[in-house]
Amino acid sequence: MSSQPRKIVLGVTGGIAAYKSPDLVRRLIDRGGEVQVVMSRGAQQFVTPLTFQAVSGRPVRTDLWDEAAEAAMGHIELARWADAIVVAPATAEFLARLAHGFADDLLTTLCLATTAPITVAPAMNHQMWANPATQANVRLLRERGVRFIGPDTGEQACGEVGVGRMVDPVRIAEEVFTVRGGDGPLKGLKVVVTAGPTRERIDPVRFISNRSSGKMGYAVAQAAREAGARVVLVSGPVQIPTPVGVERIDVESADQMLAVVQEQVRDADIFIAAAAVSDYKCREVAREKIKKTCDAFTLSLTRAPDVLATISRSESPPFLVGFAAETENVEQNALAKLTSKKLDMIAANKVGDNLGFDKDDNALTVYWNGGHKELARTSKLALARQLVELIAERYRLSKTDRKATTAAAVRAQ
């Protein structure tokens, strides 16, 4: 089983969000961590080493050329000491240096010399985060197993609004102490998750879609991975980083999603359909952009494939979990879907203006044959963890019931 980190090197780089990092030290210590702070030269322009020494109870390391610390190759000793390295905030400059293997200061040298997992919490202006150079570095680091927490969306120190805020220290500490892919309740199982919207083309530049952000589906995929499963995430078009350790397959239309899901569920144990798949698609897709030639325009639509219903009708479907996003009669509609699509479970919530879509929190009511459970409003990741725990419980019970039914049939022969 993967153990939780106890000895944590906290790297602090030179961004204004460094003022949040002393609070992060306390949050990590409160969860049982021993924290050794390593500051870059830029970080010391925002917060003093004395501040971190006061909250961590340890002298702060700042210099690769510290004669006293390096007399016995202290940077190697520190790299071996750490169970985890966490960098918060992680600036665009630090991500670039980490991606390209620079080792010209203590923090980057530690990152190269350690075998411990590395987690970064980016913080920068939203244009810097969106820059192709930064995104290329992020992709490269993800491929190498570096774990990203955030960034969040919101108002930034520069006064602009966008993606680039450092995640709150409480959430960072919670994520750091979350065991990834260990002996969780889904260990050894393959879980397929769908997420996000689908797009149904009208012409080469227009499409029909919906407001799904994909956040809930991605949170479910992450939670399933944390619970030990091998997770395949089939995603519609969204701008969300792939959870660490999750295999992601991108699709656009309902037809494409169905084809990929059918292939992936052949050896899957659980299928969680969190995507908002389009109900309709254009009967014919225009080959060229449709010109604005009249005041009214009519589209001829036909039914798009129902991914979950199709899988439920297959010869040997996996354990099936659906989602019901409803604007009214939530319970009635959810139970109807549970029955008509022959699902094992369905998670229902009310959506609409200021509810469900595009939000970072949610609430669910989960139904199954003969029971239900309310999951109170919380962050989508925390909610997903509760949901996955419940799915694992119901999955185990279903396997026990099937074994009992099989045994009874054998005895009756």
pLDDT > 60? residue 181: no
Same domain, 25 and 110: yes
* Average pLDDT value for residue range 110-114: 90
pLDDT above 70: percentage of residues in the chain: 90
Supply the pLDDT for residue 354: 53
Last residue of a domain, one of 176, 198, 223: 176
Nearest of 231, 234, 228, 232 to residue 214 by alpha carbon: 234
Same domain, 211 and 360: yes
Binning pLDDT at 50, 70 and 90, where does residue 32 land? confident
pLDDT > 90? residue 307: yes
3-state secondary structure the chain: CCCCCCEEEEEECCCHHHHHHHHHHHHHHHCCCEEEEEECCCHHHCCCHHHHHHHHCCCCECCCCCHHHHCCCHHHHHHHHCCEEEEEEECHHHHHHHHCCCCCCHHHHHHHHCCCCEEEEECCCHHHHHCHHHHHHHHHHHHCCCEECCCEEEECCCCCEEEEECCCHHHHHHHHCCCCCCCCCCCCCEEEEEECECCEEEECCEEECCCCCCHHHHHHHHHHHHCCCEEEEEECCCCCCCCCCCEEEECCCHHHHHHHHHHHHHHCCEEEECCECCCEEECCCCCCCCCCCCCCCCCCEEECCCHHHHHHCCCCCCEEEEEEEECCCHHHHHHHHHHHCCCCEEEEEECECCECCCCCEEEEEEEECCEEEEEEEEEHHHHHHHHHHHHHHHHHHHHHHHHHHHHHHHHHC
Same domain, 48 and 134: yes
Last residue of a domain, one of 176, 198, 214: 176
Last residue of a domain, one of 137, 154, 176: 176
Supply the pLDDT for residue 74: 59
* Average pLDDT value for residue range 150-165: 78
Supply the pLDDT for residue 72: 45
From CA 205, how far away is CA 359, in angstroms rounded?
27
* Average pLDDT value for residue range 281-292: 89
* Average pLDDT value for residue range 148-154: 83
| Domains in the chain, number | 2
Bridge partners, 85 (sequence order): 9, 118
Same domain, 215 and 346: yes
pLDDT tens digit string along 67-78?
Answer: 655 544 456 888
Same domain, 167 and 52: yes
Q: Tell me the residue length of the chain.
A: 413
Residue labelled with tokens 């797009």: 199
Supply the pLDDT for residue 211: 78
pLDDT tens digit string along 338-374?
Answer: 999 999 999 998 775 555 456 778 889 999 999 999 9
pLDDT > 80? residue 332: yes
Domain that holds residue 11: 7-176
Same domain, 101 and 222: no
* Average pLDDT value for residue range 156-162: 74
Higher pLDDT, residue 181 or 65: 65
- Give a yes or no: residue 289 inside a domain: yes
From CA 68, how far away is CA 62, in angstroms rounded?
12
pLDDT > 80? residue 250: yes
Same domain, 138 and 225: no
Average pLDDT, the chain: 87
Active site residues: 158
Residue labelled with tokens 């190269």: 112
pLDDT > 80? residue 387: yes
- Give a yes or no: residue 2 inside a domain: no
- Give a yes or no: residue 412 inside a domain: no
Supply the pLDDT for residue 1: 36
Supply the pLDDT for residue 327: 81
User: CA distances (Å), 193 to each of 99, 161, 185, 297, 321, in order?
Assistant: 30, 31, 17, 36, 9
